């Protein structure tokens, strides 16, 4: 007889919002004349009225509509996280992130751009252009989820800031405030958390600046109020609770590169042929599934992004 031993992230039917119930709520909204995630605008920003709608939901080739029926349950997304600013265990962020104050929030912008300055979230994000994007997300620790993000293409933000021609990379920083982020009392990494992208990666239509998921604003443990989502890369590229954006000429030295350069490279491209020094990346556990599945090159987004790395050795440039 096969006995399944439950993992810490396994959820009972009573603990989660079922997909059927979630979809029925969406159908009710549509029937009431509120298209898609209409309530999301009100939840994401108090300055937007209940009647405003998410006009671009599932509206383009990058929206992931083929993954609709694979979405990870909301409670799992909220309860199983990597966010070392709130602790190193997967359940720590959901337990400890209540101390974060995501409103009001400002982001400083500097470096090689024409519009440096200090911006509110509403200054950076055009809430009239919010889209839902359902993306596969893969962690270097060999677990994965399918998450319906709400946000705008990062390119929309970049175009607003007008980088100069010598800006080859974009660099992000997370908030440093140990009172709000108690995990920062420990020197797990060198704070602040920093991540970066090449400009062509940042401008790709798949790259998202997220402000919500499902039909609600980002929870603190998921990176409120503003986080990066790059679905063809390992999850450590998804810098959260962003307070600074810099446009730079030289490749930035990111947090995990500084901490363990033999394990974590700048590109973080999902490549099942490059094993982590302590485990294989050839397969993964989708949270909510019992078995494992093969890891896809570029997390399944190779058709859209492989050309960005033509001529590169992705075993060396990992």
276: domain CATH number? 3.90.420.10
pLDDT(272) > 50: yes
Does residue 276 lie within any of the structural domains? yes
Does residue 113 lie within any of the structural domains? yes
Instruction: Please give the angle made by the CA atoms of 68, 273 and 230, to the nearest 5 degrees.
Output: 40
Does residue 163 lie within any of the structural domains? yes
Does residue 80 lie within any of the structural domains? yes
Does residue 13 lie within any of the structural domains? no
Residue range 117-143: mean pLDDT, rounded: 95
Question: Which range of residues forms the domain containing residue 291?
Answer: 57-309
Distance CA 151, CA 180 (A): 24
CB 256 within 8 A of CB 236: yes
pLDDT(176) > 60: yes
* Residue 58 confidence class, pLDDT cut points 50, 70, 90: low
Does residue 5 lie within any of the structural domains? no
pLDDT(9) > 50: no
139-151 core/surface letters (b: 16 or more CB in 10 A; e: else) = bbbbbbbbbbbbb
Cα 243 to chain centroid distance, Å, stands at: 15
Residue range 204-224: mean pLDDT, rounded: 96
Does residue 103 lie within any of the structural domains? yes
pLDDT(27) > 60: no
Structural domain count, the chain: 1
Does residue 32 lie within any of the structural domains? no
pLDDT tens-place string over residues 139-153 = 999 999 999 999 999
Residue range 170-194: mean pLDDT, rounded: 97
* Residue 55 confidence class, pLDDT cut points 50, 70, 90: low
């Amino acid at each position: 007889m096969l006995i399944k031993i439950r993992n810490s992230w396994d959820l009972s039917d009573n603990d989660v919002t079922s997909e059927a119930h979630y979809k029925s709520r969406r159908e009710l909204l549509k029937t009431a004349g509120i298209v898609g995630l209409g309530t999301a605008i009100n939840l994401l920003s108090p300055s937007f009225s209940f009647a405003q709608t998410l006009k671009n939901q599932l509206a383009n080739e990058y929206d992931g509509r083929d993954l609709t029926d694979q979405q990870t349950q909301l409670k799992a997304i909220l309860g199983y996280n990597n966010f070392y600013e709130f602790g190193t265990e997967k359940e720590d962020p959901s337990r400890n992130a209540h101390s974060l104050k995501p409103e009001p929030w400002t982001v400083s912008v500097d470096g090689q751009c024409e519009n440096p300055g200090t911006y509110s979230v509403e200054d950076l994000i055009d809430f009239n252009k919010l889209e839902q994007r359902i993306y596969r997300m893969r962690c270097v620790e060999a677990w994965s989820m399918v998450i319906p993000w709400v946000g705008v293409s990062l390119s929309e933000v970049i175009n607003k800031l007008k980088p100069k021609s010598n800006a080859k990379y974009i660099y992000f920083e997370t908030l440093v405030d140990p009172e709000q982020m108690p995990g920062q009392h420990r020197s797990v990494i060198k704070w602040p958390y920093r991540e970066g992208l090449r400009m062509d990666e940042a401008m790709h239509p798949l790259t998202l600046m997220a402000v919500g998921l499902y039909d609600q604003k980002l929870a603190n443990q998921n990176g409120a109020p503003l986080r990066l989502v790059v679905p063809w890369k390992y999850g450590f590229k998804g810098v959260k609770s962003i307070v600074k954006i810099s446009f730079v000429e030289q490749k930035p030295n990111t947090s995990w590169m500084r901490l363990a350069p033999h394990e974590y490279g700048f590109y973080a491209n999902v490549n099942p042929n490059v094993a982590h020094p302590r485990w294989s990346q050839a397969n993964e556990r989708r949270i909510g599934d019992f078995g494992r599945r093969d890891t896809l090159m570029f997390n399944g987004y190779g058709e859209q992004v492989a050309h960005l790395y033509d001529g590169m050795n992705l075993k060396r440039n990992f």
